[in-house]
Structure 1
Amino acid sequence: MTKLLNHNRRNFLKLAAATGGGLMLGFNWTEAEAAEPTVLVNAASAAPGVDFNSYLSINPQGIITILSPNPEVGQGIKTAFPIIVAEELDADWKNVVVEQAPLDTKKFERQVAGGSGSIPHSWKRLRVAGATARHMLIDAAAKRWSVSPTDCSTQKGYVMHTASKRKLSYGELANDAATIPVPTDVKLKEIKDFSLIGQTIRNVDNPKIVTGKPLFGLDFHREGMLIGMLQRPAFGYKIKSVDSAAAKAMPGILHVVTINNSVAVVGKSTWQVKKAKDALKIEWEKDGNLESTSDHNRIFKEMLDSPNATVRRKDGDVETAFKNAAKVVKAEYQCPFLPHNPLEPMNFFAHVKADSAELAGPSQTPESARNQAAKLLGLPPEKVTLELTRMGGGFGRRLNTDFAIEAVQVSKAVNAPVKVMWTREDDMTGGIYRPAVRYRFEAALDDKGNMIGYKLRGASINAGNATREDNFPSGAVENLLIDSVDHKSPITTGPWRAPITNFLAFAEQAFLDEVAHTAGKDPVQFRLELLDKAKQKPTGKITYDIDRMRGVIELAAEKSGWGKNKNVAQGFSVYFSHRSYVAQVGEVVMEKGKPVLKKVYSAADCGVVINQSGAQQQVRGCIVDGIGHAMYGNITFKDGIPDQKNFNDYKLIRMNEVPEIDVHFVKNEIDPTGLGEPSLPPAGAAVANAIFKATGKRLYNQPFVETEVFKGVS
């Protein structure tokens, strides 16, 4: 976000002296540069000002620089973190500059983007960082005025003494405040006094994003940097032979090297390297099982019928409950493998030297990438630096570090700085996928329609435990059995946005809807009755907050006018994940015999909302992602080779298929909980249950468009 006004050194020194050191920053939101700040750096040093702690510094002109340490993957953390610091600091947001911090395990904890855990982990730490600096500024002003700090207050970057009508800016006090002993116990603001938190604040990277300024890993450049691409095997194969003569003879190609079970082509430009990679002649041979989607269908059936499942939770006498049931409801649900498909394919930069290494790129787990690189190179971790770039999506794919380690390996092999880049085909066919799962549910009802027994088995491929055994309705059913079976496959899998719950929620909530229908009960009322039962007479442990779940159910029902609009078919869903609660209502109408999703209402309880703008986009993005993949997403395999390789044969949701989305948040003073993932799990079931209401047909498999309901509909 910085640039020099003039590269002429003499003019630079004159302007720096005129400003009294520090930084001079000017904003102009009307210029074509879309308000990229113009910054003038102190000629004597590049330091932005006085460092108060790891998160913030203040310069003599009152410009506050706030470091955001966590990876920015589109979840808005680079804006949300500084808002929290600035709130407790009582800063004027117009004078705040946000910078991405590099990986620094000494200054920061949990520099990770995953599990919707950044805000919950750092909420108190960030508040204390801002409040500590504010107290130091107050003490400095009080000392200068010879008054008590308790008689001073702060507002928008100023310390004020109301009795004498005096005030000093933070910039004027910064140097004095730096000499004040750091307080060990500071009072934080009351939530009712927040002036920034809970407001609508634009993303700090918007100007660069809309004008195409360098931000992302693919934008990263170093002088003398080479480009590398790898040809990787399909699942269950290894290299038998490589003929690289044609590739090596092509223009701009400098190296072709075999690394582990892949072949790397390194050259001067992206296009040259891509063409040479395509010219490689590689013969592969079998190295393990070569699995196909047809094999998985058989494997699922065997797992669902297996007597050797791992019991995850068992309450009461399940066998007797089902034996004595008036009715038993059974259903199976299946989801396919899914690629992550971030807009920005995998990429990473590495420059391996004799006694150190420089890394840069988009990683959700930078510390892990750094440590693995250090181990590979035989270097102490402190000899490996890692610069975080903004990510063009991740959704869990960039929790893995394979692409970063590839860059390290290639740089070491060719003894040069290299940026490894994946093509879209590499990204889609090279894993790491969402695990494929099939669920079997059973519910026992008594003669009054009460659910007295519940069974769930999760059969998965490389998911481990495909259940969340303590989630609702566990605790609300006195006789319950949840178990799982897992098959190990050479097809690599990993976390996919809202891991496990991204599909489990659809299956659970669609099944509960069917159970409610069989019992002759309203789906919303059926869930509320279960929650009442969990509260009044719980069975076993309960890990979800019953009142918070009830709150989002009632809010979603209220905002959607549940059951009152006879012109649409409504479907309901509610889910607890990543410490947050989200209820959704989908509305479907029939057009030319086709069910069309028109609107989704969403009610979320994520505690205190940091930034209304970011929170709204998080929920909307989750819903679009959840609907799109439930409707269309599918990766299939033939002998370990993916059938779908790019967006021409893998469908993503289109703009004209996105429904109207109405987002509401429960207002409370609970510390913030997760928001990057919790709104995705309930989306599929809200749509499926609405489609059932409109068509009378249940959806048991994803993607929906390949089911009977949509047969003959393009």
Structure 2
Amino acid sequence: MSNDTLSRRNFLRTTGLGSAGLFLGLYLPDAARAMIMTEHEALAADVYTELTAWVLIEPTGKVTLMCHRAEMGQGVYHSIAQIIAEELEVDLASVDIKFAQGNEKKYGSQLTGGSSTIRGSYKNSLKLSASARVVLTMAAAARWAVPIAECYAESGHVIHKPTGKKFHFGELVVEAAKLKAPENIALKPRSAYKLIGKPLHRKDTPMKTNGSAIFGLDKRIPGMVFAAVERNPRLRGKIKSFDDSATRKIPGVTNVIKIAMGVYEMDREGVAVVATSTWAALQGKKALKIEWDDTGFEHVNSLEIFSKQRELLKTEEGRILTTQGDPNGVITQSKDLLDVVYETPYQSHCAMEPLNCIAHHRGDTVEIWGPVQAPNWIQDYISKKMGIAFEKVIVNMTFLGGGFGRKALTDYPHEALVISKAIGLPVQVVWTREDDATQGPFRPGISYRCQGVIDGNKNISAIKFRMAGQNNDHFRSGDNGKANRSTSEGWLKPYFESIKNISFADVTFKTPIPTIFWRSVYASTNGFAYESFVNELAHKSGKDPLEFRREHLKEERTQKLLDKVAEVSGWKNKGKGFGMAVTECFGTTVAQVVKVSKSKGGKLKIDQVWAVVDCGWYVNPDIIHAQVEGAIVMGLGAATIHEITFKDGLVEQHNFYDYKMPRITDIPPIEVHIMENNEDAGGIGEPGLPPFAPALTDAIFDLTGKRIRKLPFDMASI
């Protein structure tokens, strides 16, 4: 490369890639076509900005994979590598993984949400890896002057079958880079997989065990200072005045400044304490004396929120998301209507790693480091909010200690950049657990009115669902006048085939409380209401809840799922205290059965949970088991233990002492089973949560005759 072409950009690229010899990537829009070239050819062609994913094979044979999505415990850091290694024919232990920077042109969407990473990219990843393996095999065959059919790849080598001669991949880089992969390469059948479908140990587990994994809180950059922010506890309002005299006396405190953090289209004011350590910043924050001006803003109360929702559900038809037949006509004429309301609370995300972010504002370029779920969203928001070119907003991902949707928001990176710009230094802003619990955004609290009619054959002739709760999209982009697009989330599509009259509607409800996605998004609340209502309709018809579903879910794939959950739970010979539910979200259907009983002392307990998962094509069964188990634990907490409540505009919960988590003694045995089929891959991080609450409350009804329609409820009071 000549000196006149060695720009700063290309220098950083070259030094960042090291001595890579084989570059693999995917173009847009032809995302299945592999590109093989050397590092310098890639630079000369300036193709990096056009890629959506890429892999490097060094002359030593080492494979480096850029993980373009966030790893927050769900396992994609390992699963992507497991996919690539399968078709590339390399030992998984030899694969190195690095987090990619935010780059939408290069990687496409990098939002980690909707359980989308594997299901959205596995086919292209397999094709890419297979293409690389084929050109490496072609290069070896050419060097030996033998037919390619006599060569095969294994463990990072190409081997000549008749003689046993072999080259490692790195030795073939120069030749392979000059070859074009044939089109329509045949991929392995699932029966030939050596890695995919196997319960392999995760590559990030050793790092997280020995402390070498870098989470946001671990990250350090030269010259970095630390900050903590006291924000308006009522979510809205302005700073009337503040006294920082006591704060400035604390050793290590270097600055105190008034700031404003962007939360969607609103600015939330606060006072930032900058210091030489996190401890000093937090102590300085505690010493602040701030007078807030909250006049002119609604001071919300939980009782009023849910009372208003119930009143709206009595009179408002709402915005129709989808409808078929004439549900209103059937319901109006019915003399035996089931008409009930369910209620689900606001929830905090409570990720184990509180929010944090490092930011450095350098003028026309800004850079952040930290636990983020949506690099592209951050780039877009910061670009518009701070007037900086999109490509000059650099976002570096670290491991996340949990996210559940909260770390997809752009507020905390923006806040860190505002502080960095004010002080002219890189800064790490750390939120306390109390900040995280009280500031939101939260999962919205929602009420549901469900109406249904059973016909003469004891099947559902009409069903009508209306939900009243905040629409997350309204905070992000404003009210578009349409129904919440997630109104039917969690509801199985085969129901539409058997129920001739059905409708879903969204009754518009707004408060100033900021909301955002929470694990399984609206399915986490919809699932409780809709599947609880199916259980109530089953009881009204006098039918077993599993058989009732079997009659309404005629699709063969769903029938097999029901067969499996009945088999593993012993449903056919069950006694009292069994409940079940089935929900679908993000391409995966999960059926759960819960068994409850009462001890001799009359205490209600959960004896067992059986979960059957149909996620189609899958990578690692151990990861699926872990995700479903974790989702059930999270669902247990949301159903029976914790909620966010508001009084006079203030959040009443602050930390784990009043927003309690399930303890190990609360967790029942959980048995997870995976359906085997050749369907497309579905998501797995979220779908295990929605069916738990309706299955649990159905089990409680089966045992006690008490119907639960409001969450959370106290197990000890049943």
What TM-score, normalized by structure 2, do the two folds share? 0.88
1:195-234 correspondence to structure 2 within 5 Å? 195-233=194-232, 234=234
Of 69-78 and 461-470, deviating more is: 461-470
Q: 2: distance between equivalents of 1:187 and 1:66? A: 22
Q: 1:384 to 1:480 in 2, by over 3 A?
A: closer
The equivalent position to 1:579 in structure 2, one of 579, 584, 587, is 587
What is the aligned partner in structure 2 of residue 630 from structure 1? 639
Instruction: Classify the secondary structure of the residue corresponding to 1:586.
Output: strand
Query: Does 2:627 match 1:618?
Result: yes
Letter in 1 for 2:244: S
Asked if the contact 1:326–1:446 (Cα under 8 Å) also holds between the matched residues in 2, the reply is no
Q: CA deviation at 1:75?
A: 0.8
Q: 2: distance between equivalents of 1:44 and 1:366? A: 20
The equivalent position to 2:679 in structure 1, one of 651, 670, 681, is 670
Q: CA deviation at 1:102?
A: 2.3
Query: Does 2:333 match 1:333?
Result: no
What is the aligned partner in structure 2 of residue 265 from structure 1? 273
1:86-485 correspondence to structure 2 within 5 Å? 86-183=85-182, 185-233=184-232, 234-260=234-260, 261-286=269-294, 287-307=296-316, 309-325=318-334, 327-463=336-472, 465=484, 467-468=487-488, 471-472=491-492, 473-485=495-507
Q: CA deviation at 1:550?
A: 2.2
Query: Does 2:538 match 1:516?
Result: yes
Q: 1: distance between equivalents of 2:213 and 2:610? A: 36
Q: 2: distance between equivalents of 1:324 and 1:565? A: 37
Of 476-485 and 419-428, deviating more is: 476-485
What is the aligned partner in structure 2 of residue 539 from structure 1? none
Q: CA deviation at 1:215?
A: 1.4
Structure 1 regions of 5+ residues with no counterpart?
Answer: 1-41, 533-545
Residues 495-548 of structure 1: per-residue CA shift (max 9 Å, x gap): 11111110111111111111111111010110111123xxxxxxxxxxxxx333
Asked if the contact 1:452–1:479 (Cα under 8 Å) also holds between the matched residues in 2, the reply is yes
Q: 1:313 to 1:383 in 2, by over 3 A?
A: closer
Asked if the contact 2:19–2:59 (Cα under 8 Å) also holds between the matched residues in 1, the reply is no
The equivalent position to 1:650 in structure 2, one of 620, 638, 659, is 659
Q: 1: distance between equivalents of 2:500 and 2:211? A: 57
Q: 2: distance between equivalents of 1:44 and 1:408? A: 25
Asked if the contact 1:113–1:365 (Cα under 8 Å) also holds between the matched residues in 2, the reply is yes
Q: 2: distance between equivalents of 1:240 and 1:297? A: 32
Residues 292-316 of structure 1: per-residue CA shift (max 9 Å, x gap): 1121132112211223521223322
Instruction: Classify the secondary structure of the residue corresponding to 1:327.
Output: coil
Asked if the contact 1:629–1:653 (Cα under 8 Å) also holds between the matched residues in 2, the reply is no
Query: Does 2:513 match 1:491?
Result: yes
Q: 1: distance between equivalents of 2:681 and 2:305? A: 40
Q: 1: distance between equivalents of 2:221 and 2:392? A: 19
Q: CA deviation at 1:185?
A: 4.4
What is the aligned partner in structure 2 of residue 694 from structure 1? 703
Q: 1:43 to 1:244 in 2, by over 3 A?
A: closer
Instruction: Classify the secondary structure of the residue corresponding to 1:91.
Output: coil
Q: 1:422 to 1:326 in 2, by over 3 A?
A: same
What is the aligned partner in structure 2 of residue 503 from structure 1? 525
Of 100-109 and 581-590, deviating more is: 100-109
Letter in 2 for 1:662: E
Q: CA deviation at 1:674?
A: 0.8
Q: 2: distance between equivalents of 1:131 and 1:514? A: 51
Asked if the contact 1:548–1:581 (Cα under 8 Å) also holds between the matched residues in 2, the reply is no
> Percent identical across equivalent pairs?
36
Q: 1: distance between equivalents of 2:464 and 2:471? A: 22
Q: 1: distance between equivalents of 2:67 and 2:215? A: 16
1:22-101 correspondence to structure 2 within 5 Å? 46-47=18-19, 49-53=21-25, 54-101=53-100
Q: CA deviation at 1:469?
A: 7.1
Asked if the contact 2:20–2:59 (Cα under 8 Å) also holds between the matched residues in 1, the reply is no
Residues 446-494 of structure 1: per-residue CA shift (max 9 Å, x gap): 2432221112111113456262179333342112232221221111011
Asked if the contact 1:325–1:446 (Cα under 8 Å) also holds between the matched residues in 2, the reply is no
Q: 1:106 to 1:440 in 2, by over 3 A?
A: closer
Q: 1: distance between equivalents of 2:288 and 2:509? A: 34
Q: 2: distance between equivalents of 1:378 and 1:467? A: 36
Q: 1: distance between equivalents of 2:343 and 2:171? A: 63
Letter in 2 for 1:281: K
Cα RMSD for the two superposed structures = 2.1
Structure 2 regions of 5+ residues with no counterpart?
Answer: 1-13, 26-52, 261-268, 473-482
Q: 1: distance between equivalents of 2:460 and 2:17? A: 70
Instruction: Classify the secondary structure of the residue corresponding to 2:104.
Output: coil
Q: 1:217 to 1:182 in 2, by over 3 A?
A: same
Query: Does 2:648 match 1:639?
Result: yes
Q: CA deviation at 1:323?
A: 4.7
Asked if the contact 2:490–2:584 (Cα under 8 Å) also holds between the matched residues in 1, the reply is no
Q: 2: distance between equivalents of 1:88 and 1:391? A: 28
Q: CA deviation at 1:382?
A: 2.4
Asked if the contact 2:298–2:512 (Cα under 8 Å) also holds between the matched residues in 1, the reply is yes
Instruction: Classify the secondary structure of the residue corresponding to 1:453.
Output: strand
Asked if the contact 2:450–2:466 (Cα under 8 Å) also holds between the matched residues in 1, the reply is yes
Q: 1:158 to 1:446 in 2, by over 3 A?
A: same
What is the aligned partner in structure 2 of residue 553 from structure 1? 562
Q: 1: distance between equivalents of 2:257 and 2:139? A: 61
Q: CA deviation at 1:214?
A: 4.2
